[in-house]
Amino acid sequence: MNEANAIRKRIRQKLYTICSFDASCIRTVDPNNLLTTGALTDEVIEKIHPQLFVNEYLDQDIHSQYELASSSIPIKVLSHSTNSEKSKRLQEILFPAGFKSEMRMAFVTGGQCYGFASLYRRDLAFNSNDVNKIRKQVKEIASIIRKHVLRVTNKAKPFTIQPMLIMSSSFTILYQNQQAKSWLHQLSKQEDLLIDQIPRSIRAIFFQVLKNRKNHSNTIMIDSEGELYALEAALLTDHEDEMVIVIKKGPITNGDWFSYLIKCYQWTAKESEIIRYIIKGDTTNEIADQLSISPYTVQDHLKSIFLKTNINSRSKLTNLINGW
């Protein structure tokens, strides 16, 4: 079992010990855009998962992931909403599938969301006591995911042939090269999916582009080798009857890599600013002059940077930033 799915299974078990449920979907996301990077979905939910994805990205329904991630109380029970009778998800997807109640939660810590969980019950509805018990664990679970998502890894090297697939707006694969087939197989394996099931990360970025008719979207992923890469999607054609979307696996940009390292090592804004000058080759005095601070203050920031990264020289820091 890969590490990411092991963590999702650990979270599922933790939630079940707090509050019983009949089915669940546990997702990790890119905190920058809330796009799914992987999921653990019970088989009974997998059967309605395509409908749930359409509902999440294309319908304006109650308790969306964006609403939960920004809420002061990031846990909601669908049946508790005064507008639950208007919820397409509840009335047209969950009820017909035999589920009476849904509890959704966002795993938020430090102002950023790292994942979501949807819990389902067939008979007994979730109540306020269930919400309160789980609410106490949300930040701890978010920290578990954050530790995994922001573990320092390596940048994926440029691909000789970039994995690429082309999909229609009806979610049909029109074309995929051999590299894409291998990539999809790897993603499916990471999520314990059948070989013919489209991985959640692909579904999420597909619907993101479809919903917003965006020319381009990307999210940061970690592959089975522990390397960071970009999952990219772009709109090829946009006609009323049909849209065509290309999805690719590519190397992350230097900017995305630097942003990732900032979160990994929790560098402050000032430390990040100093690092940018260091990789340009500026001396301590030059940095001090440009930031209007004393050289001693620059040195203090450098000590903090070295302590956080567990390295002891500017050259090693530069190599880290360059992904060497």
d(CA 169, CA 47): 20
For 80-120, the DSSP string reads GSTTGGG-HIIIIIITTTT--EEEEEEEEETTEEEEEEEEE
Tally of helices (H runs) and strands (E runs) in the chain: 14, 11
Residue 226 is predicted with a pLDDT of 79
Q: What is the pLDDT of residues 81-102, one digit of tens each?
A: 888 889 999 999 999 999 999 9
User: What is the CATH number assigned to the segment(s) 267-321?
Assistant: 1.10.10.10
d(CA 30, CA 116): 11
Residue 122 is predicted with a pLDDT of 96
CATH 3.30.450.20 fits 154-254, yes or no: yes
Residue 81 is predicted with a pLDDT of 86
Residue 45 has pLDDT above 90, yes or no: yes
d(CA 169, CA 155): 31
Whole-angstrom CA distances from 230 to 70, 180, 255, 269, 289 are 25, 14, 12, 24, 37
Res. 143 pLDDT band, cuts 50 70 90: very high
Residue 156 is predicted with a pLDDT of 82
Indicate the residue type of 214.
Answer: K
Phi first, then psi, for residue 42 (nearest 5°) are -65, 150
Residue 2 is predicted with a pLDDT of 75
Nearest to 52 by CA among 72, 31, 23, 75: 23
Residue 88 is predicted with a pLDDT of 94
Q: What is the pLDDT of residues 256-279, one digit of tens each?
A: 899 889 988 989 999 999 999 999
Q: What is the pLDDT of residues 207-247, one digit of tens each?
A: 888 887 767 788 888 887 778 899 999 988 866 667 899 99
Residue 181 is predicted with a pLDDT of 94
- What residue spans define the domains of the chain? 3-149, 154-254, 267-321
Residue 239 is predicted with a pLDDT of 66
Residue 67 has pLDDT above 60, yes or no: yes
Q: What is the pLDDT of residues 95-129, one digit of tens each?
A: 999 999 999 999 999 889 999 999 999 999 999 99
Residue 183 is predicted with a pLDDT of 93
Q: Examine domains 3-149 and 154-254 and report if their fold is the same.
A: yes
Longest distance between any two alpha carbons in the chain, whole Å: 69
Ranking 85-94, 173-182, 255-264, 299-308 by mean pLDDT, the lowest is: 255-264
Q: Which CATH class is domain 3-149?
A: alpha beta
Terminal CA-CA length for the chain: 28
Helix (H) or strand (E) holding 57: helix 49-58
- Mean pLDDT of all residues belonging to the chain: 90
Q: What is the pLDDT of residues 1-30, one digit of tens each?
A: 578 888 999 999 999 999 999 999 999 998
Q: What is the mean pLDDT of residues 190-204?
A: 86
Query: What sign has the CA pseudo-torsion 137, 265, 71, 211?
Result: negative
Residue 161 is predicted with a pLDDT of 92
Other CB atoms within a 10 A radius of the CB of residue 124 amount to 12
